[in-house]
Amino acid sequence: MNPMPPTPGTDDPAVAISRVAEHQWHAVEDGREVGRGDASRRPDGRLFLSVDAWHAAAFDRLAAAMVADLPAPLHALVGEGDLDSASGWQRAGFTIGRREREYLVPTDPGTTGLGSAQLPSGVRILPVGEAEYDPLCALDRAIRDEVGAVVGWQRMPAEVPIPAGAIVVDPSKYAVAVRADRYVGMVRLAPVPRQPRIGLIAVRTDEHRHGIARALLASVLGGLHRSGVTAARAEVDEANAAAMALFEGVAAQPAGCNLELVRR
């Protein structure tokens, strides 16, 4: 099912909504299912809603039921070109919270220009999976504090977790930059089938402008290239000009834009 072009103000009383599970709703009209709504809690704690409906009335009534049943804040993620869904969520009281640009990143060092990348003086890179757990957790905590103090961790991609309480990270998904036995930067690689996703590149504030992020990217992309992967995906908040410049500087190509809508 896909939503048809919506008509503002539609509210067909013939569409009946039922909550069939804790995080699932169905819309029924004349005895047939005309829509489904789902809610999912992302690793970062945000609650994301999705609706798949035959027409605008079903979309609107599903969205209204989910909003009534669930605590705010609520989030929805749609492609920027999906005007129908974006309009439906806006009718339900959602507003645009952030824009996330997607990139397709080549791994071939001949294309990225990273084949001749030099490591910053005194810095070494631990490839994905070789970081030690405790120092990685300490780096994760320090970077979260630094990002939170400037722009807020909610500006990071949705799959980068914000655990409640103790920090929990999986070393098998991270490459790390080390200076004098101190972890100073990291990149998170999500092992999505067929096309891995770079979910985070972050460097300690006092280590900015030394080329560490570029060295981390060279390590991760080089490893993917050697394993036969030709491209990875990456998502960057459009407010993060430095990250966009980093990816565009290695020949990454824009591959779309997502809107995160929020109802507070």
Domain that holds residue 139: 102-256
CATH of the domain at 141: 3.40.630.30
Assess whether 197 and 235 both reside in one domain: yes
On whether both 157 and 85 belong to a single domain, the answer is no
Nearest CA to 257 out of 22, 36, 48, 80 is that of 80
CA 110, CA 230: separation in Å to the nearest integer?
12
Tell me the chain's radius of gyration from C-alpha atoms.
Answer: 21
Q: What is the tally of structural domains in the chain?
A: 2
Residue 151 lies in a domain: yes
Please check whether residue 75 is in contact with residue 86, taking contact to mean a CB–CB distance below 8 angstroms.
no
Kindly state whether residue 137 falls inside one of the protein's structural domains.
Answer: yes
Are 167 and 239 found together in one domain? yes
Q: What is the reported pLDDT for 2? A: 54
**Residue 152 pLDDT > 70, yes or no?**
no
**Residue after which a domain boundary falls, among 75, 93, 111:** 93
Instruction: Tell whether 193 and 158 lie within a shared domain.
Output: yes
Average pLDDT value for residue range 87-100: 94
- Tokens standing for 58? 């079903």
> Which DSSP string corresponds to 102-168?
EEEEE--HHHHS-TTPPPPTTEEEEPTT-S-HHHHHHHHHHHHHHHHHHT-GGGS-TTS---SSS--
Please state the φ and ψ torsions of residue 138, each to the nearest 5 degrees.
Answer: -65, -40
What is residue 190's predicted lDDT score, i.e. its pLDDT? 85
Distance CA 36, CA 52 (A): 5
Look at residue 87 in the predicted model and tell me its pLDDT: 95
Q: What is the pLDDT of residues 17-44, one digit of tens each?
A: 999 999 999 999 999 999 999 999 876 6
113, 242 contact by CB (below 8 A): no
Res 140 pLDDT > 70: yes
Check whether residue 114 and residue 189 sit in a common domain: yes
Regarding whether 45 and 148 lie in a shared domain, the answer is: no
pLDDT-above-70 percentage for the chain: 86
pLDDT at 1: 57
Query: Do 250 and 210 share a structural domain?
Result: yes
**175 and 87, same structural domain?**
no
- Based on the fold, state whether residues 56 and 74 are members of the same structural domain: yes
Tell me: do 53 and 132 sit in the same domain: no
Nearest residue to 66 (alpha-carbon basis) of 106, 39, 31:
39
Same domain, 60 and 179: no
Is residue 136 in a domain?
yes
Cα–Cα distance, 212 to 252 (Å, whole number): 18
pLDDT at 50 over 80: yes
In a domain, 10, yes or no: no
Boundary-marking domain end, from 93, 119, 145: 93
User: What are the phi and psi torsion angles at 38 (to 5°)?
Assistant: -135, 150
* In a shared domain, residues 157 and 213: yes
The pLDDT assigned to 11 comes to 56
Query: For 102-126, how does the pLDDT look when each residue is reduced to its tens digit (9 = 90+)?
Result: 999 999 999 999 988 788 999 999 9
Please give the mean pLDDT across all residues of the chain: 87
Q: Which of 45, 65, 93 is the last residue of a domain?
A: 93
Is the predicted pLDDT of residue 88 greater than 60, yes or no?
yes
